[in-house]
Chains A and B, each alone.
Chain A
């Protein structure tokens, strides 16, 4: 049988495939061991509860805060900030990226300052932003907007620039005008790049939120954590971290689902 000869052939490379079930279970072993070890160490007193509480304690705290509604209030505030910042930064980036990508004049006028600003670490702008917009809500939203702006701008720009000129030409010979070419060729052609930008922007938005909410916040997950630190409620601090991580994970997953539905044509591309 060919199968045995394949197996015996020295240096034969197996085709890449999904990990077998057994291997997938194997990959679970070390995380589970770590969590169990953590739990055990906390329970036996090896880890001081004020340094790192047991995972079950963190979960219990999470359940308590969910039930009394505290967590929901803070989570909603954090989400509002992230949403508003993403919307403002994203729309601005989308407009400027489109102008720079489509128009030569726009490219000449918009791209150089953006390229210069890109080198500034936007989280390092916190002191300046405090002077400019104060320490209120606008600081958090500005910070998120700044973080979201760059990935979306660059990917919009690159997405438009990378569109195959020959496709635009073919659309022209099919009688498509400027607006129709934008709708049928440029927009769908730039969409994969836009999604990539959005994913990076969401990551940047959560990061900005973490930093922003540690500056004089009255609500939000970050505030929850800062307040808990004052009272040495380590379980709440760890819970905040967990919530941040989950937010990032869930938003990324959701975006991936949307992306897969909107870019079905690429699956065919990958199959060939």
Chain B
């Protein structure tokens, strides 16, 4: 069981430190030793794909998982906002916010917290009468009213529509500026992480594989050029690592725009798209591609060549040179039909996937 200590309040000390946190569900290891520390008033985003163990980590940090090993030390108090609002349906909004509160002027504190999320007039409503966004705002108020030193947010806006999500992100940024709480934001949305966080932790295969400071102004927007560049590096890096690993581990192919591609080739196409049309399109192939059973793919050279331009743009020149050699070999095969290369194709594709993983990691480290 993870020992969870409540340390003394100290301005200089981090508000939360976790050491060697491990969690396995039966034979499946979800967290393979995670170390992290969150400074006072720092917002850290925990980024990772679904199943990467980010929600599990947050539950452990919130003290909701008794089966984990390792240690977490919390200096101060923490409050949690979950992906679902988790309001008690049999309590009115105000009673939900004030749940478990004690001390003086509970009603006044509840009223102020509801006013801060813009729901003063709904204090008598039942949770079932609220819209999804309103319910989530009540959940935020329920966390805020406790004046936590650390806010743990588990994909808090994941279930909301795009417009509501945007409003909630702005609300959270304002509240953070006013209250100065530290926060751990679990999300799979790169843009959200860049918009809200001071630092991004990338969780993959149960480990934190990257720790990236976000050096952007506090009032940032997605149109910021620096924002765009950082996003390109991050998305590119994650994409390369993810698709490279995918290709290495599975024979599954993808169907995209009428082409049958391996995961490595799909990543290549993504970069080709992004260098031709701007970074915004980078994720498009990955998002709309449809997984199909493995097999031979016909488009050998185009994808690697496209990917190389992406790699070169990310500043990974050595890897790009190596990749170019591979791509030329692919072209030779396609044009001349050299038999040796045909037999070697599957190994070459694997090699290419390995190159992608390496390039992705380099990109992430440089970002």
Contact = CB atoms under 8 A, between A and B. Distances in A.
B229 to A, nearest CB: 38
Contacts of B283: none
A191 B146 CA distance: 28
A114 interface: no
A185 B89 CA distance: 10
Given A173-B62, A176-B100, A184-B99, A167 B88 contact: yes
Given A173-B64, A185-B88, A188-B90, A272 B129 contact: yes
A186 to B, nearest CB: 11
B86 A265 contact: no
Contacts of B86: 166-167, 169-170
Contact of B100 (A180, A266, A268, A272): A180
A272 B128 contact: yes
A269 B100 contact: no
Interface residues of A, number: 24
A49 interface: no
Nearest to B139: A170
Contacts, number: 65
Contacts of B79: 173-174
A189 interface: yes
A174 B129 contact: no
A131 interface: no
A44 B88 CA distance: 64
A65 interface: no
A142 B78 CA distance: 53
A175 B146 contact: yes
Interface string A146-189: 00000000000000000000110111111110001000110011
Interface in B79-95: 79-80, 82, 84, 86-92
Contact of A271 (B78, B91, B92, B129): B129
Interface residues of B, number: 23
Interface in B119-152: 125-129, 142, 146
Interface of B is mostly: loop
A107 B142 CA distance: 34
A2 B55 CA distance: 50
B126 A265 contact: yes
A166 B87 CA distance: 10
A171 B100 contact: yes
Contacts of B125: 268
Interface of A is mostly: helix
Contact of B126 (A169, A171, A188, A268): A268
A271 B82 contact: no
B62 to A, nearest CB: 6
A171 B91 CA distance: 12
B181 to A, nearest CB: 15
A268 B130 CA distance: 9
A266 B89 CA distance: 8
B100 A175 contact: yes
Nearest to B142: A174
A268 B127 CA distance: 8
B90 A166 contact: no
Given A184-B91, A185-B88, A272-B128, A170 B82 contact: yes
Contacts of A176: 99-100
A188 B125 CA distance: 17
Contacts of B142: 174
A269 B99 contact: no
A110 B62 CA distance: 34
Given A174-B99, A184-B88, A268-B128, 20 more contacts: A166-B86, A169-B64, A170-B86, A170-B87, A171-B88, A171-B99, A173-B62, A173-B80, A174-B100, A175-B100, A175-B146, A184-B100, A188-B90, A188-B91, A263-B90, A264-B126, A266-B128, A268-B125, A271-B129, A272-B129
Interface of B: 62, 64, 78-80, 82, 84, 86-92, 99-100, 125-129, 142, 146
9 nearest CB pairs, A to B: A170-B86, A268-B126, A268-B128, A269-B128, A188-B90, A174-B100, A173-B80, A268-B129, A176-B100
23 contacts: A166-B82, A166-B84, A166-B86, A170-B82, A170-B88, A171-B99, A171-B100, A174-B79, A174-B99, A175-B146, A180-B100, A188-B90, A188-B91, A189-B88, A263-B90, A265-B91, A265-B127, A268-B125, A268-B126, A268-B127, A268-B128, A268-B129, A272-B128
